[in-house]
Amino acid sequence: MSEYIQNLNPTQRDAAVNYQGASLIIAGAGSGKTRVLTCRIAYMLSQGVQAHTVLALTFTNKAAKEMRERIATLVPGGMSRSLWMGTFHSVFARILRAESDKLGYPSSFTIYDSADAKNLVKLAIKELNLSDETYKPNVVAARISKAKNNLVTPQAYEANSSLQAEDREQRIPQFLDIYKLYARKCRENGAMDFDDLLLNTNILMRDFPEVLTKYQNQFRYILVDEYQDTNFAQYVIIRRLGELHGNVCVVGDDAQSIYSFRGAKIENILRFQQDFPGAKLFKLEQNYRSTQTIVNAANCVIEKNQRQIRKKSFSAADEGDPIRVIKAYTDKEESALLASDIYTTVRTRGVQYSDVAVLYRTNAQSRALEEALRSRNIPYKIYGGMSFYQRKEIKDMLAYVRLVVNPRDDEALRRIINTPARGIGDVTIGRIAGAAAANGLSMWEAVSRLDPATIGLAGAAGNKVAQFAKMIGELSEMRSTTEAYTLGLEIATRSGLIGTYKMQQTPESISALENIEELLNSIRVYTEEQERMAADTATEGESAPQALVQIDEWLQNVALLTDMDNENPEERNKVTLMTVHSAKGLEFEYVYVAGLEENLFPSMMSMGTPEGLEEERRLFYVALTRAKRAAVLSFAESRFKWGEMTFGRPSRFLSEIDPQYLDLQFELGDSRDSDEEANSAPRYGRPGGPSRYGRPGTGSSQDYGQGGYRKRAGAPDTGALRRTDTPSPGARFRSLSARGATQGSPATGSPASRFSAPGTGRPAARPSGPPAGYPPRPIGGATSASPHVTGATNGSDPPGASSSQGSGEMAVGTRVEHAKFGVGEIVAIEEWTSDVKLTVDFGAAGRKVLLKKFAKLQIL
DNA sequence: CTTTCGTATTTTTTT
DNA sequence: AATACGAAAG
Ligand SMILES: Nc1ncnc2c1ncn2[C@@H]1O[C@H](COP(=O)(O)OP(=O)(O)OP(=O)(O)O)[C@@H](O)[C@H]1O
């Protein structure tokens, strides 16, 4: 028997080796669930199971990539390469592209992210002449998302009177109209949003039995990690694909279900044994990750939840250090204390920075931490928040590519027709949209095919539009003959994006330029990888025709990537900063959890309901159990929020840990608000409330979907928050900002398993297109090689607002402090049109060129 | 049509 | 604090 199987404990081994039939592996954190899944796949391959018949779904692309790499080391040859492995979204996006003609989509359909979706909702609301006060785009988008996650199409929605009654009750009676229009627009644009990927997969499998059969036969073995966080749409996909052979293995931990805000249902894992009768149940009880202290402390916390499957969980590792709790007066002090502590830990414990993570509840908390780390020259990397792909310049650039690839993508056109400013305003855009609608064309088709005069685009505006159309047209024609990177560079230049950013010479524009270069670089890396893989497979067979890697292919891969999926070589040995949500499934030697305050963690938004609070508790459980050797918890008594100082008290979760596991140098105050006693002893299980998880023993739950929700007052909506950042070469992903969907509305009720057929929109444009390159490769690490950037040079002087505040005292050698980069020394000064360009050496943060006007430097 | 300035609003969490 | 949006000036 292979070594990797030998290394498993008996239960784990059982779970790995018995790969026929259905299996449910349910176990606490760190018990080796993911490892079992990995070994199981490797074992299957070693027993002769064909890799391409295995479908393994993970929670993130990164997890998939790591699992694939691990398997590659366990089995011979390139077998692991043919595994179908990825997130639900990326795997089914690939399948949808292959089958797109059946649903009337082009195979190169665009994938809209949440921001694109929100814009489209906004547009739909506007076109229906509804007020965006009543119909808040965020709320509407969240409700649409919820409907889709429950497989409720607009048609099904229309047939469902209780949903519509809910809308009326919430004073959004015309919600359905928006939903319909939104869906129509997506279809006309040849685009799917995240939720459509799952919804349309379901429609495909429901309406095309032969397609369903094909995939049922192809995927003889299905494995799902983190099953407790699947939503209804994902659940139905698994049930359908697995019902023929029942070789379905799911892995999860109900105590780690933390994504209910996007429709995840713990019930999915609880009813697995009913869905797949005879499923073998494996319970893993030993935690191999953490010290006894951490495991025991985490158990204390999770015990407080009423609704759960009770599980044993013990650690045979050392007792380990007690969990330290750090108190600070302000968020700034908290960050400073953590930064010093990290520094000391790394120094004295002989560990790497990369063994350390700081976790927090909200992205907004990262800022203070960043500043503290930076000023101490502690290297860090930050995930989530405003990721690379959400930055304006990147989204603009991607919109150009999207339009070139998919001429029906009106959303992309609207985004960039006047970016950079070319004198095409709202009025003109409105006329184009009108003409497009009147002729049943997309907006780009309208501007490129219709006579400008007939649609009222005479004069200056008409010329500008014609010029724009010509540019896109030419780029579009180059597509089939031009290699992806070259075309990307061409797009970046001819669109004028590079030129305008070059012209501006502000820190922001420099940063934007770097990001665009980085994006172009990722095209190159992707291209090279594809070519290498093509060459690999070609050596076995005959000479492969040197296929041109088109930009289409890259675009399709990029749409579902997040910053976590990029392994940048420069990002090694850095402290990790991320939200607790993003940390699920990861592990670190030392974990710091910051901001353990009432109303922050647990979040204010979630405390209204027992369910919400229990989810926060699970989230805290996840946070604690990321730590292998030690955890440190911190809170601040005051914190800036919306530019205002707010005061908080220590989180109730701190007092839920048995003090024997804590190293507490002070009295832990009461978490309760004086007038809030009732909240500290929430009553569970409302009268008639059907939703209660199976008690220990029964392991089942009757209900899912329906009921159990209470309306909450003041459902919040959210908006986007963005922070511009200054350039810092090498550090690809900058901070941040939070952005988010929200719930707000009560549940959409029954996840009707019958849902209606998609309406047919415009016929598919171009049913060509290769299946997306697979396995999906994340874009590679950026080297410092800067793509040569052509474009307008800054001959002309930018209209300079006058500058120079507090002139004088700066000279070469002056020590200054920057809000982000910390302390540095000026090494060069240069006149720059109306301002002064400073080169400052910030030590670890690097050497930066800053404009005095913007840099807000403090002279020390 | 663009830029600029003032005001209102925002923060959970993410594929 | 930072952003997005709308109004008014250029
Ligand atoms: N039998 C074993 N022997 C030694 N180490 C093990 C064993 N099983 C698991 N581990 C280690 O325990 C750690 C946790 O494993 P893994 O990530 O698979 O757990 P998990 O159950 O998926 O955790 P989580 O639910 O928190 O994501 C890993 O570092 C893994 O290498």
Tens-digit pLDDT profile for residues A725-747:
333 333 332 222 222 222 223 33
Percentage of chain A beyond pLDDT 90 is 43
A755: confidence class by pLDDT, cuts 50, 70, 90: very low
Residues A144-198: tens digit of each pLDDT: 999 999 999 999 999 998 898 888 888 888 899 999 999 999 999 999 999 999 9
| Domain final residue pick, A142, A157, A189 | A189
Of A2, A14, A17, A35, the residue with max ligand 1 atoms within 8 A of its CB, to mutate for a pocket test, comes to A35
Q: Decide if A280 is catalytic.
A: no
On whether residue A272 sits in a domain, the answer given is yes
pTM for the model: 0.77
Residue nearest to atom 4 of ligand 1 (CA): A288
A557 within 8 A of A597, measured Cβ to Cβ: no
Minimal-distance CA residue to ligand 1 atom 9: A32
| Structure confidence at residue A126 (pLDDT) | 84
Q: Which residues contact A669 (CB under 8 A, 6 or more apart)?
A: A649, A650
For residue A80, the domain's CATH number is 3.40.50.300
On whether A30 is known to bind a ligand per the annotation, the reply is: yes
What is the pLDDT, as a whole number, of residue A134?
82
For the sheet with A847-851, list strands across it: A847-851, A835-841, A822-832, A815-818, A858-859
Query: Is the same domain home to A349 and A370?
Result: yes
For chain A, the maximum distance between any two Cα atoms, rounded to a whole number of angstroms, is 81
**Which residues on adjacent β-strands are paired with residue A223?**
A56, A249
In a domain, A308, yes or no: no
| Shared domain check, A415 and A524 | yes
Let me know whether A141 and A212 are in one domain.
no
Residues with CB under 6 A from ligand 1: A 7-9, 12, 27, 29-35, 253, 256, 288-289, 585, 587, 625
Same structural domain for residues A406 and A531?
A: yes
| Residue A373 shares a structural domain with residue A340 | yes
DSSP character for A78? T
Give residue for tokens 């804590």.
Answer: A662
Contact A359, A579 (CB under 8 A): yes
Looking at the fold, whether A532 and A416 belong to one and the same domain comes out as yes
A520 and A577 in a single domain? The answer is no
Consult the annotation and say whether A34 binds a ligand.
Answer: yes
Q: A209 C-alpha vs ligand 1 centroid, how far in Å?
A: 39
Dihedral angle over CA of A104, A110, A116, A119, nearest 10: -40
Q: Nearest nt (C1') to A119 (CA)?
A: C4
pLDDT tens for each residue of A357-387: 999 999 999 989 999 999 899 999 888 766 7
Which pLDDT score, from 0 to 100, does residue A187 have? 92
Is A691 within the bounds of a domain?
Answer: no
Reported as a pLDDT band with limits 50, 70 and 90, residue A857 is: low
CATH at residue A431: 1.10.486.10
Of A8-17, A35-44, A436-445, the poorest mean pLDDT is in A436-445
Beta-carbon neighbour count of residue A762 at 10 Å? 16
CB A47 within 8 A of CB A55: no
For residue A212, being part of any structural domain is answered with yes
Q: What pLDDT band is residue A351 in, cutting at 50, 70 and 90?
A: very high
Task: State the complex-level ipTM.
Answer: 0.92
Same domain as A230, residue A92? yes
Helix (H) or strand (E) holding A841: strand A835-841
The reply to whether A626 belongs to the active site is yes
In the predicted structure, residue A307 carries a pLDDT above the cut 70: yes
A221 and A90 together in one domain: yes
Tally of domains in chain A: 5
What's the CA gap between A548 and A173, in Å, rounded? 51
Contact partners, residue A261, CB within 8 Å, separation at least 6: A741, A742, A743
Contact A25, A302 (CB under 8 A): no
Q: Is residue A40 part of a domain?
A: yes
Strand order of the β-sheet with A84-87 is A84-87, A54-58, A221-224, A248-252, A23-27, A280-284
Is residue A556's pLDDT more than 80? yes
Both A117 and A219 in one domain: the answer is no
Is 90 exceeded by the pLDDT of residue A717? no
A423 touches strand C (CB under 7 A): no
**Pick from A664, A691, A709: which residue ends a domain?**
A664
Q: How confident is the model at residue A233 (pLDDT cuts 50, 70, 90)?
A: very high
Cα–Cα distance between A179 and A135 in angstroms, integer?
12
Active site residue A6: no
Show which of A664, A697, A729 is a domain's final residue. A664
* pLDDT attached to residue A531: 82
Half-sphere exposure of A313 (CA within 13 A, CB side): 32
Rounded to 10 deg, the angle between the A484-494 and A497-504 helix axes is: 60
Q: Is A29 annotated as a binding residue?
A: yes
What distance in Å separates the CA atoms of residue A452 and residue A459, rounded to the nearest whole number?
A: 10
Say what angle helices A426-439 and A459-478 make with each other, to 10 degrees. 60
C-alpha A587 to ligand 1 mean position (Å): 9
Same domain flag for A592 and A485: no
Structure confidence by residue, pLDDT tens digits, A504-544:
777 777 888 888 988 898 898 888 888 877 766 655 544 54
Span from the CA of A585 to the centroid of ligand 1 (angstroms): 10
Residues A554 and A575 in one domain: no
Give the three-class secondary structure for A657: coil
Q: Could you tell me if residue A137 is inside a domain? A: yes
Is there a domain that residue A293 lies in?
Answer: no
A50 labelled catalytic = no
The Cα A33–Cα A288 span in angstroms is: 11
Determine whether A376 is an active site residue. Answer: no
Helices (H) and strands (E) in chain A, counts: 32, 23
Q: Going by CA atoms, what residue is nearest to atom 25 of ligand 1? A: A29
* A428, pLDDT greater than 90: no
Instruction: Measure A130 CA to C7 C1' (Å).
Output: 21
pLDDT at A789: 25
CB A61 within 8 A of CB A560: yes
**What is the domain range of residue A462?**
389-537+547-559
- A617-635: burial string, b at 16+ Cβ within 10 Å, e else: bbbbbbbbbbbbbbbbbbb
Closest ligand 1 atom to residue A584 Cα is 27
Nucleotide with minimal C1' distance from the CA of A431 is B1
Is there a domain that residue A419 lies in? yes
Beta bridge partners of A322: none
The active-site residue, picked from A12, A34, A419, A550, is: A34
Q: Is the CB of A722 under 7 A from strand C?
A: yes
pLDDT, tens digit (0-9, with 9 covering 90-100), for A663-686: 888 777 665 554 443 333 333 333
Q: Which of residues 798-857 of A touch strand C (CB under 7 A)?
A: none
CB A366 within 8 A of CB A736: yes
- What stretch of H or E contains A543? none
Higher pLDDT, A467 or A568: A467
